[in-house]
Chain A
């Protein structure tokens, strides 16, 4: 009797254990490793986490952005560092630079065959500013007339400065002549949405392949939670003949070392190398992730942080290239300015058009001590050892490591006391937002490819200016840049502002983060990006 019970139990266990959950039955053809067959030309790579959502107006991460970037077509598209016509063929600008009229492309269709209409674009913007939707990307639409007031609930949605002239024409009223916004139109939050589909699907919108329609170069075919996504070429796409890949498999592989193993086995076409493994792949290519890391002061927290000479002393005490080697495994380039130099400039990149080399790669101990001496005189401090500053970092391994390197460098070169305070990662940014810090490790990734994305953070009344930095010279240069219509003059104002903030140092730029990657030799034009989306595979092709 007892034996039989155990036997039955074991047999039951064995039986249930035979198949594999999910759609394993027909998985032979979904196997990502094989090329050819039903899937045509295939590209396979991996992300470490599943997208939280693919609703463009709700997504928050650059990986989600990368998928949406290929599923939807904005009016214009940021393709590399170029802004190219996409859903619209052209646009007109009014003389004051405050009204933009876009002319939509004829024959552009959604994946269900319906023609793309101007209202689809308007609806995307309505969703992003609608307080009921609570889009985390609402701040990205701030340049549209009345957008910020609608987000705050001060004006009704109808007041949004976007007008549908006819099915193929849409007009934008701007808050100020923000000419850079055309390059933002492929940012996920500003992508179009279909009113009928969103209303029909409700909360399910963007959570499964059949709960949305797509007007981009690819359409979502399959999405298994935490397992992977399959994108198929969208045959309805207006430029479908230029799309070379038939299938894009995005596997979800949380462990970076596992990804590397799969790449070496030929199961992935592209892989990012975890920083501790970078030294094993000296020939790997690198790219800028877009993130600029800096040390941030809160000028109102303490009189020592409010002292400019003290901040200059800290900046001179930091050895940027040693920091990158010791804390980042060499994955970064020393920052010589605040703004990421690869952003769009007037003719080439911003860094090429307006080079700035304000900070030394290595520490300058003599200079640092001089600045410290004058700071101490100004503040009536007798000994350097009387000064104690606290560097805030979060509880991740990487952040702790960074803080220790900074601590060591500042201690060594200035002779002051540096304490490191670690707090939970989730509390970290709340502390920042509530200005509950004096000195912390910060950073910023651009939202669009224009220097303004970095520079607006330090305008005295900007809501993200948690340094409490106030400079008349800076504000006036930035305000001039907002209304200037001539691009060269506008960039001139921005560089002027950048010089001011880099001299005043409410933040100390340290490095531009980099990543190293390996790629299948046959795969061409799969490019990592630094803004809004992590990758661009629109032009990707596999050579035979």
Chain B
């Protein structure tokens, strides 16, 4: 197990390194540059480029970037004057993570319950109800869902705040909008996985042993059926924690989603790279943890 984890970590570092290299050169291939304000004089532009080291040859800049990265220095943002990428990310990440975690808990808890209900009532009215919820979840984009929720809960009924992130009541609408699509897929995966498990021999054995129906469901069916969900959780956690542009924008949540989109459109090189490193590391950690958790939940994987 130790060897397995060590191997995974080395692989992860290499992955992140390749990611940085590719993004570093790709973003420079994009036409234009970070300082293209039409009112900027050429002299000032040159000074600004020199300030950020953009006047040096690209390989030199690359080596310098990696050196700085070893010290944990992601550099200064090119649009946010005199603010480090690290400080911007650290301010924004808690918000994105907060919405993300709430959305995940909401999606998994409700999704799993719906999936179980659907599976236990296969072909009945409740099953159809769950299917309808799942179809709505997968087919309605999150920004439309957000807009509808804002309109009814915020404007029409005045029950919840429309936007911003200042207290517990502000978190409800973003949580639902962000989590709904995940909820739908979780409930579908849970349902089919339950149905598969129900026909397994060990369930028949359990029933034959005379275990009560409730215990068969909770101890044997759900526990085994939940396995496939662990697989999708890793990547999902990383992507949902780092924020989504649309939801954060319509609910005015000061998270990271905005930086992803803005840094690319404004060619803020250091910010693009900083976000890539951050996201890459997070994704790699999440998948590694998933693999380990998977091994804990399912002994068969550990053995192989």
Q: Which residues of B contact A265 (CB under 8 A)?
A: 154-155, 158, 162
Q: Which 8 A-B pairs give the minimum distances between C-beta atoms?
A: A426-B32, A226-B254, A21-B94, A427-B32, A134-B47, A427-B31, A53-B81, A203-B82
Cβ-based interface call for B92 (8 A): yes
Is B82 a contact partner of A430 (Cβ separation < 8 A)? Answer: no
Q: Select the stretch in B15-23, B96-104, B191-199 that faces chain A.
A: B96-104
Q: A21-B98, A253-B252 are in contact. Are A261 and B155 (CB under 8 A)?
A: yes
Is B164 engaged at the interface, CB distance under 8 Å to the other chain? yes
Among A2, A138, A257, A432, which residue has its beta carbon within 8 angstroms of that of B250?
A257
User: Could you tell me the distance between the alpha carbons of A427 and B32 in the complex, rounded to whole angstroms?
Assistant: 4
Q: Do B252 and A20 have beta carbons less than 8 Å apart? A: no
**What number of A-B contacts does a CB cutoff of 8 Å give?**
178
- Is there contact, CB below 8 Å, between A136 and B254? no
Asked if B26 is at the interface of the complex by the 8 Å CB criterion, the answer is: no
Mark B45-83 against chain A: 1 for CB-CB distance below 8 A, else 0. Answer: 001100100000000000000000000000000011111
Residue of B nearest to A466 (CB): B38
Tell whether, in the assembled complex, residue A134 and residue B32 are in contact, meaning their CB atoms are under 8 Å apart: no
A151 to B81, CA, bound (A): 19
Known contacts A131-B43, A136-B39, A257-B250; A2/B297 CB under 8 A:
yes
Known: A2-B297, A139-B39, A426-B266. A20 touches B101 (CB 8 A): no
For the complex formed, measure the closest distance between the CB of B285 and the CB atoms of chain A, giving whole angstroms: 15
Given A131-B47, A261-B162: A433 touches B105 (CB 8 Å cut-off)? no
How many Å lie between the Cα of A427 and that of B102 in the bound state?
40
Which of A511-527 touch B at CB < 8 Å? Answer: none
Query: Does chain A have a CB within 8 A of B278?
Result: no
B: which residues have CB within 8 A of A? 30-34, 36-44, 47-48, 51, 79-83, 88, 91-92, 94-95, 97-98, 101-102, 104-105, 109, 147, 150-151, 154-155, 158, 162-168, 170-171, 223, 248-252, 254-255, 258, 265-267, 293, 296-297
Q: Which residues of B contact A52 (CB under 8 A)?
A: 79-81
Q: Which residue of B lies closest to A425 (CB)?
A: B265
Q: Is the CB of B167 within 8 A of A24?
A: yes
Q: Which residues of B contact A255 (CB under 8 A)?
A: 163, 249-250, 252
Q: Are B81 and A138 in contact, CB atoms less than 8 angstroms apart?
A: no
A354 at the interface (CB under 8 A from B): no
Tell me, in angstroms, the Cα distance from A417 to B232 when the chains sit together.
53
Q: List 5 A-B contacts (CB under 8 A).
A: A58-B81, A134-B47, A152-B43, A228-B164, A433-B36
A424 to B82, Cβ gap below 8 A? no
Most A Cβ at <10 Å: residue of B36, B48, B95, B223: B36
**A204–B38 CB distance below 8 A:** no
Q: Is the CB of A134 within 8 A of B83?
A: no
Residue in contact with B105 in the complex, picked from A10, A60, A432, CB distance below 8 Å: A10
Note all chain A residues with C-beta closer than 8 A to B296: 2, 5
Given the known interface contacts A2-B223, A252-B252, A426-B33, the answer about A22 and B165 at a Cβ–Cβ threshold of 8 Å is yes
Q: With a 10 A CB-CB cut-off, give which of B30, B82, B251 has the most chain A CB atoms.
A: B82
User: In the complex, what residue of chain A is closest to B162 when comparing beta carbons?
Assistant: A261
Contact, CB under 8 Å: A254 / B98: no
Assuming A226-B92, A426-B267, is B81 touching A55 (CB within 8 A)? yes
Q: Is the CB of B155 within 8 A of A17?
A: no
**Neighbouring B residues of A224 by C-beta, 8 Å:** 254
For window 426-450 of A, CB contacts with B under 8 Å fall at: 426-430, 432-433, 447
User: Does chain B have a CB within 8 A of A463?
Assistant: yes
- A430 in contact with B147 (CB, 8 Å): no
The CA of A227 and the CA of B109, in the complex, are separated in Å by 30
The complex places the Cα of A55 from the Cα of B81 at a distance, in Å, of 9
Query: In whole angstroms, what is the CA distance A483 to B139 when docked?
Result: 67
| Contact of A376 with B by CB under 8 A | no
Considering only CB atoms, which chain A residue lies closest to B245 in the complex? A254
In contact, B252 and A251 (Cβ under 8 angstroms): yes
Q: Does A205 contact B (CB under 8 A)?
A: yes
Residue among B43, B83, B154 with the highest chain A CB neighbour number at 10 A = B43
List which A1-50 residues lie within 8 A (CB) of chain B: 2-3, 5-6, 10, 13-14, 16-18, 20-22, 24, 27-28, 30-31, 50
Q: Is A135 an interface residue (CB 8 A)?
A: yes
> Which residue of chain A has its CB nearest to the CB of B81?
A53
Q: A265–B258 Cα gap in the complex (Å)?
A: 25
Apart from the given pairs A14-B105, A20-B170, A261-B154, 20 other A-B contacts in the complex at a CB distance below 8 Å: A6-B297, A10-B109, A13-B104, A20-B165, A20-B167, A21-B94, A131-B44, A139-B41, A207-B81, A207-B83, A226-B91, A257-B147, A257-B250, A425-B265, A426-B267, A428-B32, A429-B38, A430-B32, A433-B38, A447-B39
Q: Which residues of A contact B171 (CB under 8 A)?
A: 20
Residue of chain A at shortest CB distance from B108 = A10
B254, A225: Cβ atoms closer than 8 Å: yes
Residue of B nearest to A9 (CB): B293
Q: How many whole Å from B32's CB to the nearest CB in chain A? A: 3
Chain B min CB distance to A513 (Å):
16
CA distance in complex: A479, B91 (Å) = 52
User: Quick one: which of A199-230 are within 8 Å of B by CB?
Assistant: 203-207, 224-228
* Cross-chain contact B83 with A253 (CB below 8 angstroms): no
In Å, the complex CA distance between A424 and B266 comes to 10
Q: List A residues 349-406 near B (Cβ within 8 Å).
A: none
Contacts of A205 in B (CB 8 A): 82
Give the docked Cα–Cα distance between A324 and B47 (Å).
Answer: 40
- In the bound complex, residues from chain B placing their C-beta under 8 Å from that of A254 are 248-250, 252, 258
Q: Which residues of A contact B105 (CB under 8 A)?
A: 10, 13-14, 17
Interface centre among B81, B150, B254 (most CB of A within 10 A): B81
Instruction: Tell me whether A153 is interfacial, beta carbon within 8 Å.
Output: yes
Tell me which of A207, A255, A257 has the highest count of chain B C-beta atoms within 10 A of its own C-beta.
Answer: A255
The interface residues of chain B lying within 8 Å CB-to-CB of A151 are: 41, 43-44
Nearest chain B CB to A113 CB, angstrom units: 26
Interface of chain A residues 455 through 483 with chain B (CB within 8 A): 463-464
Q: Which residues of A contact B36 (CB under 8 A)?
A: 426-430, 433
Tell me if A267 is interfacial: C-beta within 8 Å of chain B: yes
| A227 and B32 contacting across the interface, CB-CB below 8 Å | no
Question: Contacts A16-B101, A204-B82, A426-B265; is A136 near B252 (CB within 8 Å)?
Answer: no
Check if A94 is an interface residue, CB within 8 A of chain B.
no
A155 contacts B by Cβ under 8 Å: no
Determine whether A264 belongs to the interface, using a CB cutoff of 8 Å to chain B: yes
Contact A226 B167 (CB under 8 A): no
Rounded to whole angstroms, the CA-CA distance of A424 and B167 in the bound complex is 39
Shortest CB distance A339–B (Å): 17
Enumerate chain A residues within 8 angstroms of B167, measured Cβ to Cβ: 20, 24, 27-28
Give B40's nearest chain A residue, CB to CB: A136
A284 interfacial contact with B, CB 8 Å: no
Docked Cα-Cα span, A136 to B36, in Å, equals 11
Q: Which residues of chain A come closer than 8 Å to B97, judged between CB atoms?
A: 21
Contact of A60 among B34, B37, B265 (CB under 8 A): B37
> Across the interface, which residues of A come within 8 angstroms of B164, CB to CB?
227-228, 251, 253
**In the complex the two chains form, what is the Cα distance from A134 to B76 in whole Å?**
15
Q: Say if the beta carbon of A240 comes within 8 Å of chain B.
A: no
